[in-house]
A = this chain, B = another copy of it.
Amino acid sequence: MDWLDSIKWDSDGLVPVIAQEAGTGDVLMFAWMNREALALTAERGQAVYFSRSRQRLWHKGEESGHFQQVHEMRLDCDADVVLLKVTQLGHEPGIACHTGRHSCFYSRLEGDAAGRRWTPVEPVLQDPASIYKK
């Protein structure tokens, strides 16, 4: 069976994908791939996602230059989630988030039962205006 046929694609033909930084173990982002995106990712060794908002392939870094080099691809026990081990290129430390931060998971839940809130706790490494020049 083709390795792409092993995937349990959802009703939209997509699979969720987690990108984890190979060196640090940091979870950088979460996105989606369709069959073509997953095939291209394996072929090129760079992450190609499917943008649900734009309904088209999205070669991560195509606008920012912040490409993701893929070292390893993993599939979970239910064959419905993919994990990429990547190096986030284009800046040191890597910038995976469109806000100019290292990781998209920059908000932490703070507080206790009396009151909780999501609080940004990671710095902006580069002004998004200078990343997305168009």
Rounded to whole angstroms, the CA-CA distance of A77 and B121 in the bound complex is: 12
Cβ contact of A118, chosen from B75, B106, B109, cutoff 8 A: B75
Closest chain B CB from A57 CB (angstroms): 19
B76 x A6 contact (CB < 8 A): no
A73 x B108 contact (CB < 8 A): yes
Contact with B along A98-134 (1 / 0, CB 8 A): 1101001111110101001110000000000000000
Q: Does A78 sit within 8 A of B, measured CB to CB?
A: yes
Copies of this chain present in the complex amount to 2
Nearest B residue to A17, CB-CB: B30
Cβ contact of A30, chosen from B16, B97, B111, cutoff 8 A: B16
A117 x B3 contact (CB < 8 A): yes
What are some 14 contacts across the A-B interface (CB < 8 A)? Answer: A3-B109, A18-B27, A20-B25, A27-B27, A43-B113, A73-B109, A74-B107, A76-B104, A76-B107, A77-B97, A77-B101, A79-B118, A81-B105, A83-B105
The interface of chain A, by Cβ under 8 A from chain B, is: 3, 6, 16, 18, 20, 24-27, 29-30, 42-43, 72-79, 81, 83, 97-99, 101, 104-109, 111, 113, 116-118
